[in-house]
Structure 1
Amino acid sequence: MAEEAWGRWGPDDERGALNLIGPEQVRRAASLVRTGRPISLAQPISDRLLVPSHRHKVMHFMGRDGGDYAAGSRRPGGFQFAEDTVVLPLHTGTHIDALCHAWYGDKLYNGFSGNSVRSTSGAGHCGIDKFPPIVTRGVLLDLVGLGGGPLAPSEIVGRAQVEAALERAGLRLEPGDAVLVRTGWLEAQQPGEQADFNREPGLDLEAALFLAEAGVAVVGADNFAVEVLPFAEGTVFPVHQRLIRDFGIPLIEGLVLKPLAEAGATAFLFVAAPLPVTGGTGSPLNPVAVL
């Protein structure tokens, strides 16, 4: 076992590396704002979202709409309204993984029992409701810009590529950073075509550990898994296992990073607030970069 962050913030901690973000990191990130331009990094939520076959698609139902009034519904005082309901998996589209999302050895982050995650009641420990709002410095690692185009399916983003992207951006990683990796996978998907969720460019374990050991608080990417697929021989989701379970680092998947790169952003104020779903294993997210 490798339990690098266990006990670092006490035996009862369920926030993990997000503890690295304190008032100093928030003030530092806020000082990066120059133009005040916000950029959403989220995919639109609809039934057209790319979803792997083992997850349900988004369902969107109207509970009240204009058709009800056209059919004769009462309008007390002239008042009319519309409302609707969305049903979606918490790990769909742009979303963040809670620290109960992945583990091994029957132990979650910080030594909590894997048996505390139950189908009947959700996560008793390390649920998404334990995460605070995330406000910190965002760092874009633009591998598309580095290589002159989207990475090939299953192309590995190793430590050397991460360091090259940092050098190109003129940046050094600092504790509490949110590192966002642009591979071009999402941009390469064609409307109406089935995405191949089994062959994606992404981080290998060496690159992920390099980020973890640099003290980053969050790692995100524009692909489905953050890490390269298929996995290295003899491993299964090694980046998820090591970052989430051992280092307490949440992963953000399905980011829209092309507009951020086109704006020339490298370091920026990053803001993201997970939905506080009690016992949830993740949350849909609308991350925002403020330039």
Structure 2
Amino acid sequence: MPAPSDNWGRWGEGDQVGTLNLLGPSEVLAGLAAARDGRVLSLALPIKGATSGGAAAAVPHVRGRPLPQHYMAIDGADYAAGTRPVGAGLRVADDAVVVSPHGTTTHMDALCHMWAGERLYNGHPADRVRSYGAGRLGIEHAAARGVVARGVLFDVAAHRGVDHLGPLDRIGAAELAAIADSQGSSLRPGDAAVVRTGWPRVWDPRDPGRYQGAQPGLAADAGRWLAARDPSLVAADNAAVQGLDGDGRSTEDLDDDVHLTLLWRHGVHLAEMLWLEDLSSAVAARGRPDFLFIALPLPVQGGTGSPVNPVAVL
């Protein structure tokens, strides 16, 4: 089986979770040990949607993806509409939510989300990804394992002394290495690497084009630098982990595309569109960049991704 990276076949030809295999008991315990204060921070953007109104447009999202839809399947006025009697004063409400995770909310990419040629990660046949779902590498496999790991924040915006990076800024391997050296916290196998650009701060619903055009992110050599350190997951607060051009697309060729380097060649799951502003402040005040990172995707059978509410436990 021709393999574009050493991680194809590393955990057997049937492997469907990639570097999540690195999260053994010792790595999970190392993550638990990174929590010292017991403070919990959500790293997710809110999901706002409606069948009418502009609530969904108030949250960062990329162009061309359907906005989340949230409406009440049963609201308080409908409590007596059913066939069963309801006690006096009792009210019932229920929700219906439709979310396209990629580009509209904080989410985790499955290993079937992107590939080149006729093979998915680890040589699985690409023709198993169909309109009814992915028969290989769906997000349900990551959900069965979960991500409970030591997280390490690479606060690039803070390192540069800015609120957020510029749209054409790229983060290279040398800068990631410099940040690791400056904070005295190396990335260990199984860790979750969390990269802050500050880009969600530029979102303005009156001018969505600023967020939806070019975005800062990882350069090609940064993707390779991370992959060489065996992270269980790479997470970022921009829309694609890597940088995007003015059309909202990657400019790298297949050899340099960060998604292909991490997801396809090395089996590293990605989490995107995180909210890292509160974590940035907490880490600066704490003086330590590591923490317990937890992300549990929904077990969507055959899903190419899932909304996720990552949390940092300090």
Q: Establish whether TM, by shorter chain, passes 0.5.
A: yes
1:135 aligned partner: 148
List alignment gaps of at least 5 residues for structure 2.
49-55
- Give me the whole-angstrom Cα distance separating, in 2, the residues matched to 1:237 and 1:104: 12
Shift in alpha-carbon separation, 1:113–1:87, aligned structure 2, 3 A: same
Contact preservation (8 Å) 1:49, 1:57: no
1:122 aligned onto 2:137: no
1:102 aligned partner: 114
Shift in alpha-carbon separation, 1:72–1:133, aligned structure 2, 3 A: closer
Give the drift of 1:26: 0.6
Q: How many equivalent pairs are there? A: 290
Letter aligned with residue 29 of structure 1: G
- Give me the whole-angstrom Cα distance separating, in 2, the residues matched to 1:51 and 1:244: 22
Contact preservation (8 Å) 2:60, 2:203: no
1:67 aligned onto 2:77: yes
Shift in alpha-carbon separation, 1:233–1:64, aligned structure 2, 3 A: closer
Give the drift of 1:69: 5.1
- Equivalent residue of 2:87, what SS? helix
- Equivalent residue of 2:152, what SS? strand
1:19 aligned partner: 21
Give the drift of 1:51: 2.5
- Give me the whole-angstrom Cα distance separating, in 1, the residues matched to 2:122 and 2:252: 27
215, 219, 223: which one pairs with 1:200? 215
Shift in alpha-carbon separation, 1:68–1:144, aligned structure 2, 3 A: same
Letter aligned with residue 63 of structure 1: A
Contact preservation (8 Å) 2:44, 2:309: yes
Shift in alpha-carbon separation, 1:33–1:273, aligned structure 2, 3 A: same
2:176 aligned partner: 162
TM-score by length of 2: 0.87
Shift in alpha-carbon separation, 1:167–1:188, aligned structure 2, 3 A: farther
1:268 aligned onto 2:291: yes
182, 193, 201: which one pairs with 2:196? 182
Shift in alpha-carbon separation, 1:104–1:72, aligned structure 2, 3 A: closer
2:6 aligned partner: 4
Give the drift of 1:165: 1.5
Contact preservation (8 Å) 1:49, 1:58: no
- Give me the whole-angstrom Cα distance separating, in 2, the residues matched to 1:211 and 1:53: 28
Which whole-Å deviations, capped at 9, do the CAs of 1:41-76 have from their partners, x for residues lacking one? 000001233222321011111112123359999862
Letter aligned with residue 177 of structure 1: D
- Give me the whole-angstrom Cα distance separating, in 2, the residues matched to 1:234 and 1:209: 14
Contact preservation (8 Å) 1:181, 1:221: yes
Give the drift of 1:4: 2.3
% same residue: 44
Letter aligned with residue 28 of structure 1: A
TM-score by length of 1: 0.94
RMSD after superposition: 2.0
- Give me the whole-angstrom Cα distance separating, in 2, the residues matched to 1:125 and 1:197: 31
Letter aligned with residue 159 of structure 1: A
Which whole-Å deviations, capped at 9, do the CAs of 1:222-251 have from their partners, x for residues lacking one? 000100112445459800111101100011
Give the drift of 1:105: 1.4
Give the drift of 1:210: 0.5
256, 263, 266: which one pairs with 1:247? 266
- Give me the whole-angstrom Cα distance separating, in 1, the residues matched to 2:125 and 2:256: 20
Letter aligned with residue 222 of structure 2: A
Contact preservation (8 Å) 2:227, 2:261: no
- Give me the whole-angstrom Cα distance separating, in 1, the residues matched to 2:305 and 2:15: 17
- Equivalent residue of 1:283, what SS? strand
- Give me the whole-angstrom Cα distance separating, in 1, the residues matched to 2:11 and 2:140: 18
Contact preservation (8 Å) 1:97, 1:252: yes
